[in-house]
Structure formats: structure tokens, C-alpha cells
A = this chain, B = another copy of it.
């Protein structure tokens, strides 16, 4: 089966060209969302657009109208109902140099459609192997939680390994807090309690992280969002990763330590499955 090449729209117009004066390029001055799309519509679109709006407010970035975005998303998925959509919003092109931006400058929004990756049911069932990253994430509360375009730390962390058997690296912050994977959030289970790192100093507050946190509450699972450190990771009995595409992915090995895929992970996978619309996960 052939997969179609990525398609692109800039400000609603089909095409893959962006102005070299765009502040998204110059400064990473923008945000993005990566959305799993099934049956012609993104999973959790409401949550994605809410997070985007919150990020725009924090960056004082004008936001493209939600109705416009929804119409363009629908159009992008018409002839390709199963795809990954990446939506990028930047502060737009600036003809003058300098960090200062014109207030209310029209943003640029870019929609990219990637083929749905091949299913990886084994990772979903048997879990993945994970390493510990050497890079320590810088801490800045003003950027924490946002899915902004400054992602050099993730690029460098991903350069640390090339072994295809390793699915992800877990990263700590400069102050020693466990934060996340390079492209996923992380959950730990210890003595029946589920925990995920607080993301008030760095990290991206993932959509699937919020969905799973909500599910934990519905399932009556004791759940905490708090500062976690290396000792918490070492003592964890179950570990899993989340992101908008992979759903819940169990970890079966972390830094050489084997882990069983435990009951809490399985219970949350089962609770999540109906919300994923028939496609439990896909490799990110």
C-alpha cells in the first residue's frame, strides 16, 4: 500500500512554501499541535484547540479563528481520513529585525498532513525499552507546559541514541526532576498510586496526559501530579508513556531494569481504548 507524501497548507492555501521572514523560523516564536486523525476528524480536537488557545494567550500571539481552523482541518482530511495532522501557529512574518513584535500582527498557521504510520500492536501489548537521557532540560516557568517551537533540547536528547530497539529517553530537568520523554509524557505506579511529573518549570503538558489523568480519576485510581525524582523512577513498579498518537505505551525496560506490565497500566489501557476510536495507538 502506498502512503501519500505529506501535504501542506499555509494560511489555508495549499502549498509548502513559507516566508523566510517568519518568526517561527527566526525565533521558534510559535506553537504546534500533533493530532491523530481517524474517520476524517482529529481525536481530542477540542482539547488540542484549547491548549493552542492557552499557549497563544501566554505568548500574546493572535490566534487563527477556531471555525476557520476546523474547516481547514476537515478539508485536509476529506480525501485522507486517517492521517496525522500537525498544526503550527507562528507570530507571522516580520520584515524588520529584532525580538520586538508588532502587537496584533497576523499569525501564520500551517497545516501539515502526514501519513498514518504503520500499526505497532506489539509495542502496545509488550511494552517498549527506554533509556535515561543525559541532557538536563532547562527550567523556565514562562515556557513550561506549552508545546512551543523551541525544541532543540528534544533534538539533542534524541541524538543521544540510535539503537532502534530503544523507543524513548526519559529526561530530567536541571534541578533533578523527572520531566518526560523526548516526545511523550511519563507515568509511574508505586504501591498502587499513579503519578506523573508536575510540569510547572519545563516539559509539555500533553493532551493524552490530561486524558489519562482524567481516566484515573474515573477509575478510582489514586493519582498525583507532583515532583518526581530519580528515586521515584527506580522504585516504580509500573511505568508507561503517553502521547496523542501512541495512547498509553507500557515500558518493559528502563535503563536496563526489566519491568512487568502491571495491572494499573492494563486497566488504563482498557479504559482508554474506547476513546481512541478503534485505533489503539500508532508509533510516533
Residue positions of A touching B, CB distance < 8 A: 5-6, 8, 10, 16-29, 32, 34, 59-60, 84, 86, 88, 90-91, 95-101, 110, 112, 114, 135-140, 142-143, 148-159, 174, 182-183, 202, 284
Interchain CB contact under 8 A, B19 and A16: yes
Q: Determine the distance from Cα of A6 to Cα of B21 in the docked complex, in whole angstroms.
A: 9
Q: Kindly report which residue of chain B lies nearest to residue A152, judged by CB atoms.
A: B150
Q: Determine the distance from Cα of A152 to Cα of B135 in the docked complex, in whole angstroms.
A: 20
Q: Determine the distance from Cα of A20 to Cα of B32 in the docked complex, in whole angstroms.
A: 13
Q: Smallest Cβ distance from A181 to chain B, in angstroms?
A: 10
Q: Determine the distance from Cα of A75 to Cα of B90 in the docked complex, in whole angstroms.
A: 31
Residues of chain B with a CB closer than 8 A to A26's CB:
32, 88, 149, 151
Residues of chain B with a CB closer than 8 A to A25's CB:
18, 22, 24-25, 88, 90, 110, 149
Cβ-neighbour of A156 out of B20, B21, B136, B142 (below 8 A): B142
- Starting from the known contacts A25-B149, A27-B151, A99-B182, 4 additional A-B residue pairs (CB-CB under 8 Å) come to A10-B20, A28-B151, A99-B157, A139-B174
Residues of chain B with a CB closer than 8 A to A152's CB:
27-29, 59, 143, 148-150
Q: Determine the distance from Cα of A157 to Cα of B101 in the docked complex, in whole angstroms.
A: 11
Which of A114, A149, A182, A183 neighbours the largest number of chain B CB atoms within 10 Å of its CB? Answer: A149
Q: Determine the distance from Cα of A136 to Cα of B142 in the docked complex, in whole angstroms.
A: 9
Cβ-neighbour of A20 out of B8, B98, B101, B151 (below 8 A): B8
10 intermolecular pairs with C-beta atoms under 8 Å apart: A18-B25, A20-B88, A27-B155, A86-B97, A97-B284, A99-B158, A135-B142, A136-B140, A138-B143, A150-B153
Assuming the contacts A24-B25, A152-B29, asked whether A95 and B6 have C-beta atoms less than 8 A apart, the reply is yes
